[in-house]
């Protein structure tokens, strides 16, 4: 790892891991599991090593105190869909774009059980920030109404969710729900009760 690779978001050299002896791989698992300053890089390497110990470190990280670590672990965990869902819901509710939300939304593209979809819909009303703008794009994609997670032709609608004007967000929400063929009432009622 050097500065350029770190800066450009490039992970560890996975091919180099393949060339290690079993003993070296075991030591690498211990080292990666004890240093979670760059959790996604560590979990990507642990996932590649795919030993029982490596996979248990990823699994255990779903309970880590830091949400960013839990989000990174959720990307690589296997067989823990309900725990992964809970981490993504928490990320949607609490994370900022530069503090784990982007990584969570990357996962939502391919993993979006109903609880995650509900959190995205609630977030459209509650957040009023760039996260909500991205939620709108993701919801169109998930519902098969867009070819990507941010359809630029719908940007004017998406930007309405960044407004501090609650009535503008509510109007945009109803408009988006009509496109998605989702009933808005339940979410609007929850939002009203929460205020």
Query: Terminal CA-to-CA distance of the chain, rounded, Å?
Result: 47
Domain co-membership, 191 together with 103: yes
Overall size of the chain counted in residues: 195
Q: What is the pLDDT of residue 100?
A: 86
Which two structure tokens, joined as six digits, stand for 8?
């450009």
pTM of structure: 0.86
* CA dist 118 → 32, 88, 110, 158 (Å): 35, 11, 16, 17
Domain endpoint, select from 42, 58, 79? 79
Q: 41 in a domain, yes or no? A: yes
Task: Kindly state whether residues 161 and 184 are assigned to the same domain.
Answer: yes
Q: Do 75 and 132 belong together in one domain? A: no
pLDDT tens by residue, the chain, 195 residues? 554 554 445 667 888 898 999 999 999 999 999 878 778 889 999 999 999 999 999 999 999 999 999 999 999 998 889 999 999 999 999 998 878 899 999 999 999 999 999 999 999 999 989 999 999 999 999 999 999 999 999 999 999 999 888 899 999 999 999 999 999 999 999 888 765
Distance (Å, rounded) from C-alpha 32 to C-alpha 38?
10
Asked whether residue 84 is domain-assigned, the answer is no
The span from the CA of 5 to the CA of 113, in Å, is 33
Would you state the pLDDT for residue 94? 93
Domain span including residue 160: 89-195
- CA distance linking residue 177 with residue 171, whole number of Å: 10
């Amino acid at each position: 790892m050097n500065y350029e690779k770190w800066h450009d978001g490039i992970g560890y050299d996975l091919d180099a891991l393949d060339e290690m002896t079993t003993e070296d791989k075991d030591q690498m698992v211990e080292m990666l599991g004890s240093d979670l300053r760059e959790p996604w890089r560590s979990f990507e390497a642990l996932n590649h090593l795919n030993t029982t110990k490596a996979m248990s470190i990823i699994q255990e990280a779903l309970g880590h105190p830091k949400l960013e670590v839990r989000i990174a672990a959720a990307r690589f965990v296997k067989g823990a869909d309900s725990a992964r869902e809970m981490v993504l819901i928490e990320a949607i509710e609490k994370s900022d774009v530069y503090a784990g939300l982007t990584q969570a939304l990357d996962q939502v593209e391919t993993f979006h059980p109903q609880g995650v979809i509900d959190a995205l819909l609630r977030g459209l009303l509650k957040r009023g920030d760039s996260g909500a703008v991205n939620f709108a794009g993701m919801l169109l994609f998930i519902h098969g109404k867009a070819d990507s997670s941010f359809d630029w032709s719908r940007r004017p609608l998406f930007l309405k969710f960044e407004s501090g004007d609650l009535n503008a967000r509510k109007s945009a929400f109803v408009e988006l729900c009509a496109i998605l063929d989702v009933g808005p009432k339940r979410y609007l009622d929850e939002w009203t009760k929460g205020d």
